[in-house]
């Protein structure tokens, strides 16, 4: 699933991970800082960031809560990829 954030729009509301297991959000129009979080306790959960949509990096995540991971994006990135189990909830704000 791919979601594009329009230039100058409000942050994307939270959503659910589809059966395919991942969501990619184009956040080039977002105002930074942005917090990306994923409510999941699955072993395959991950948040990755990319400047160009092809080279993905795993940022340092806040894993202080067992059922949620989060990262504060202080500098602009183009894409955020959430990976988890179908029905896990992701959020950008």
pLDDT tens profile 11-42: 445 688 888 888 889 888 888 899 999 999 88
Q: Which letter, b or e, does each residue of 15-28 get, where b requires 16 or more Cβ atoms within 10 Å of its Cβ?
A: bebeeebbbbbbbe
- Report CA torsion sign: 29, 30, 33, 38: negative
Q: In the prediction, which pLDDT does 80 show?
A: 94
Q: How many percent of the chain have pLDDT more than 90?
A: 46
- pLDDT for 69 equals 94
Q: Which fold has domain 2-92?
A: Jelly Rolls (2.60.120)
Which whole number is the average pLDDT over 51-59?
Answer: 93
Please classify residue 31 by burial: count the beta carbons closer than 10 Å to its beta carbon, then call 0-12 exposed, 13-18 middle and 19+ buried: exposed
């Amino acid at each position: 699933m791919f979601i594009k954030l329009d230039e100058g729009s409000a942050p994307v509301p939270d959503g659910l991970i589809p059966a395919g297991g991942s969501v990619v959000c184009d956040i080039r129009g977002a105002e930074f800082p942005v917090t990306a979080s994923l409510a999941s306790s699955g072993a395959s959960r991950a948040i990755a960031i990319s400047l160009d949509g092809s080279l993905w990096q795993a940022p340092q995540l806040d894993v202080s809560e067992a059922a949620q991971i989060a990262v504060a994006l202080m500098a602009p990135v183009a894409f955020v990829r959430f990976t988890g189990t179908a029905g896990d909830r992701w959020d950008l704000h």
